[in-house]
Structure 1
């Protein structure tokens, strides 16, 4: 008999994977060790902040990235100007910025698109065969609010590849270029320390595939986090589910895995966990139910991007895994 719908605040039961055992483990073979994101598309707005984004890009080497496609999406432009000349100037600017990355060992190409930014970024990512889209985010600024609220949200809705939000702060002293003597290149390896936030939804399951690949590629430290605001009766189920994910990471090659079930709100739990250690790579699936909510950038990811210095890897529902 179908159970009646429960009123709010009644304890819910988690969808817990089958207990670990020979059959369960057989369904999750060891992850193949291969470059995760060999070709990345990097969206740049050609403002001075673009140089700061570039300083963080050498960290992509730790994810297997060897090729970068620098993209700028232009608007309508000057109706009295020459669009061909304007496009050439934008391409030249991208190539000048890319020279720094070529000296860092990347293969770099420049592309200029025109139209609605999020749609054009996604279109170019597919056309270029990019396995990752990289967007820069600056904490607590109007620019970031507009960017996260429009471009990044649109990219996530349409993207079929993971999207990496890199936290970058412009250097108020040095504005002479990313490779000038006064510049600092803040590019710690990505993937040595990973924080995976999960609500055990299908969206989180898809994102976890990428976490397993990180374990196989980097073999670093991992923190599996579930936040809950419901009754304590749920905790044993959550701990069991996290234990299964922990075992999968160990089999993939992770050196150290810890799990936690925490009581703050989802956003607060992720931000606090990311602040306890050196900034980890935070991985989350979008469009999950409960933990991430329906509007991920309107809640959890927005809060993490604004309040944490941690890079944020968001895996959209239709991501190619």
Structure 2
């Protein structure tokens, strides 16, 4: 059996991604691993904002959302611990950049053994037009990636 010591679970703060977080915590519980919760601030996505918007206030709001999202990773691990008495250590981080690139970079830099990601399971034209962070991570990562379907 493969043992995992460090499991990365990227989050975007959506309700659906909680299934992936719960799965990562479950695997961490079985293996005695640490869960790393990661939020990537995709600043490119906000480049089109009107210049009268104050970048400082936008940045502040984005960081608040990011901190809330990674805090939820810790909350889910704590809830699991309260249920069965098994504590799962959690580390969290917020980074900036292109999500797929930063997820792979973080996983490699932190010597993660597994990446657990939510995926909407889009196929065909939707994936072609919208892209898929999970697919990009799978293609670029030397670290195993488990995808968990999330609800729309």
When normalised by structure 2's length, the TM-score is 0.71
- Given that residues 113 and 120 in structure 1 are in contact (C-alpha distance below 8 angstroms), is that contact kept between their aligned partners in structure 2? yes
> Aligned-pair distance for 1:161?
0.7
Matched, 1:90 2:66: yes
Distance in 2, matches of 1:66 and 1:90, equals 23
> Aligned-pair distance for 1:165?
0.7
Larger Rg: 1
- Aligned runs of 1:39-78 on 2, under 5 Å? 39-61=6-28, 64-76=31-43, 77=46
Look up the SS of the partner of 1:156 in the other structure.
helix
> Aligned-pair distance for 1:156?
2.3
Residue 118 (structure 1) aligns with? 100
Q: Deviations along 1:86-126, whole A, 9 cap, x unmatched?
A: 32541243113421213322111211121111111011111
Residue 77 (structure 2) aligns with? 101
> Aligned-pair distance for 1:52?
3.2
Give the number of the structure with larger relative contact order, counting CA–CA contacts within 8 Å between residues 6 or more apart. Answer: 2
- Point out where structure 1 has 5 or more consecutive residues left out of the alignment: 1-32, 171-321
Distance in 2, matches of 1:41 and 1:74, equals 16
RMSD (Å), alpha carbons? 3.1
Distance in 1, matches of 2:29 and 2:63, equals 33
Number of positions where the alignment pairs a residue of Structure 1 with one of Structure 2:
136
- Given that residues 102 and 108 in structure 1 are in contact (C-alpha distance below 8 angstroms), is that contact kept between their aligned partners in structure 2? no
Change (3 A) 1:65 1:166: farther
Distance in 1, matches of 2:104 and 2:131, equals 16
Distance in 1, matches of 2:25 and 2:96, equals 27
Question: Relative to total residues, which structure has the larger helix share, 1 or 2?
Answer: 2
Distance in 2, matches of 1:111 and 1:68, equals 11
Change (3 A) 1:116 1:60: same
Matched, 1:81 2:55: yes
- Point out where structure 2 has 5 or more consecutive residues left out of the alignment: 81-86
Distance in 1, matches of 2:32 and 2:62, equals 30
Distance in 2, matches of 1:80 and 1:65, equals 44
Change (3 A) 1:167 1:158: same
Q: Deviations along 1:175-207, whole A, 9 cap, x unmatched?
A: xxxxxxxxxxxxxxxxxxxxxxxxxxxxxxxxx
Distance in 2, matches of 1:166 and 1:52, equals 7
Q: Deviations along 1:126-163, whole A, 9 cap, x unmatched?
A: 12221111111234589x837x9431232123212111
- Given that residues 56 and 168 in structure 1 are in contact (C-alpha distance below 8 angstroms), is that contact kept between their aligned partners in structure 2? no
